[in-house]
Amino acid sequence: MEEKYEAALNCLRKYNQEHILKNYENMSQNQKEKLLNQILTIDFNQIKELYESTKNEINFANDKIEPIGYVDKSALTDEELAKYNNLGDNAIKQGKYSVVTMAGGQGTRLGHSGPKGTFMLGLNPDKSIFQILAESLQHNNEKYGVTIPWYIMTSRENNDQTEKFFKDNNYFGYDPKAITFFKQGELPMCSEEGKLLIDETGAIKEAADGHGGIFESMRKNGIIYDMQTRGIEWAFIGPVDNILVKMVDPTLLGVALDKKVLAAGKSVVKAGPKEKVGVFCKRNGKPGVVEYTEITTEMAEATDENGELKFGESHINCNLFNVSAIDEVSKKKLPYHCAHKKAKYINENGELVVPEKPNAYKFESFIFDAFDMLDDMAILRVKREEEFAPVKNAEGNDSPETARKLYNDYYGLN
Ligand code: UTP
d(CA 84, CA 76): 10
| Nearest alpha-carbon partner for 330 in 242, 227, 414 | 227
Predicted pLDDT of residue 58: 65
Is 106 a pocket residue for ligand 1 (Cβ < 6 Å)? yes
Specify whether the CB–CB gap between 277 and 270 falls below 8 A.
yes
User: How much distance in Å is there from the Cα of 324 to the middle of ligand 1?
Assistant: 25
Is 208 a pocket residue for ligand 1 (Cβ < 6 Å)? yes
Predicted pLDDT of residue 359: 96
pTM value > 0.85 = yes
Is 239 a pocket residue for ligand 1 (Cβ < 6 Å)? yes
**172 and 217 assigned to the same domain:** yes
**37 and 93 assigned to the same domain:** no
The model's pLDDT over 290-337, given as tens digits with 9 standing for 90+, comes to: 988 888 899 999 999 999 999 999 999 999 999 999 999 999 999 999
**35 and 46 assigned to the same domain:** no
**196 and 89 assigned to the same domain:** yes
Instruction: Count structural domains, the chain.
Output: 2
**3 and 122 assigned to the same domain:** no
The model's pLDDT over 223-258, given as tens digits with 9 standing for 90+, comes to: 999 999 999 999 999 999 999 999 999 999 999 999
Q: 307 lies in which domain range?
A: 42-410
Q: What is the mean pLDDT of residues 123-132?
A: 96
Is 104 a pocket residue for ligand 1 (Cβ < 6 Å)? yes
Predicted pLDDT of residue 108: 85
**99 and 7 assigned to the same domain:** no
**125 and 215 assigned to the same domain:** yes
Q: What does pLDDT average to over the chain?
A: 95
Atom of ligand 1 nearest to the CA of 101: 21
**68 and 103 assigned to the same domain:** yes
d(CA 154, CA 162): 8
**69 and 163 assigned to the same domain:** yes
Residue 387 has pLDDT above 90, yes or no: yes
Atom of ligand 1 nearest to the CA of 109: 13
The 3-state secondary structure of 153-202 reads: EECCCCHHHHHHHHHHCHHHHCCHHHEEEEECCEEECEECCCCECECCCC
CATH of the domain at 218: 3.90.550.10
User: How much distance in Å is there from the Cα of 72 to the middle of ligand 1?
Assistant: 27
**85 and 32 assigned to the same domain:** no
**37 and 50 assigned to the same domain:** no
Going by pLDDT thresholds of 50, 70 and 90, the confidence category of residue 126 is: very high
**32 and 51 assigned to the same domain:** no
Residue 1 has pLDDT above 80, yes or no: no
The model's pLDDT over 44-71, given as tens digits with 9 standing for 90+, comes to: 999 999 999 888 766 677 889 999 999 9
Is 107 a pocket residue for ligand 1 (Cβ < 6 Å)? yes
Residue 2 has pLDDT above 90, yes or no: no
Q: What is the mean pLDDT of residues 179-195?
A: 97
Percent share of the chain, pLDDT over 90: 92
**Ligand 1 pocket mutation, candidates 108, 118, 211, 293, criterion most atoms within 8 A of CB:** 211
User: For 301-407, where are the E strands, in sequence order?
Assistant: 313-322, 337-341, 345-346, 352-353, 360-364, 378-381
Predicted pLDDT of residue 389: 98
Atom 22 (ligand 1) nearest CA: 105
